[in-house]
Amino acid sequence: RQRGEDISILMDTQLSELEKIGYEFHHGHVQNSQKSNENRMRKRGQRFGPDRDDLRWNQRVEELRKFKEKHGHFSIPSNTEAYNSLLHWVRNNQNHYNMLEKGEKSSRLTSERISQLAAIGFDFNERRSKH
C-alpha cells in the first residue's frame, strides 16, 4: 500500500507529527512493522529518523563546546572524575581522526562530524592535557 491508501486519519496524523519532529519517511510501501522498515532502510543506507548514535554524538559535541566555553581550551584534565567520560570520547575521536589521516577506515568519524568539531575550534592533534 502507498502512504495514504487504506490508512486511517489517525495514522496520517501520527505520521505528520513524526515528520514535524524530524522523522523521514520515504514514499513507497507502508510496512507492517516500523522496526522491520527501519532495519531495511538502514541496510540501504537511508535514515529513518534521528539515530540514537547521532543524538549522543550531538550531546557530546555540546558538552565539549561548553567545556571550552567554561575553561577556554579543550585540554580536558585526566585527573578529574567529572570529565573522564568526555576525555575518553575526545581521545577516541582523535584516534579515529588519525586513522583517517593514515588512510584507514573509520566507521564513526564522518566528514560531517569532523566539520562539527572543527566548527567549535577542536584540534584533533592536541593530545596532552595542559591543565
- C-alpha–C-alpha distance, residues 40 and 46, integer Å: 9
pLDDT tens, position by position, 33-61: 455 555 555 655 555 566 788 899 999 99
In angstroms, the CA 20 to CA 39 distance is 22
pLDDT digits (tens, 9 = 90+) for 79-121: 888 999 999 999 999 999 999 999 988 777 899 999 999 999 9
At residue 23, the pLDDT reads: 61
Residues making up the chain, counted from first to last: 131
Percent of all residues in the chain with a pLDDT value above 90, rounded to a whole number: 38
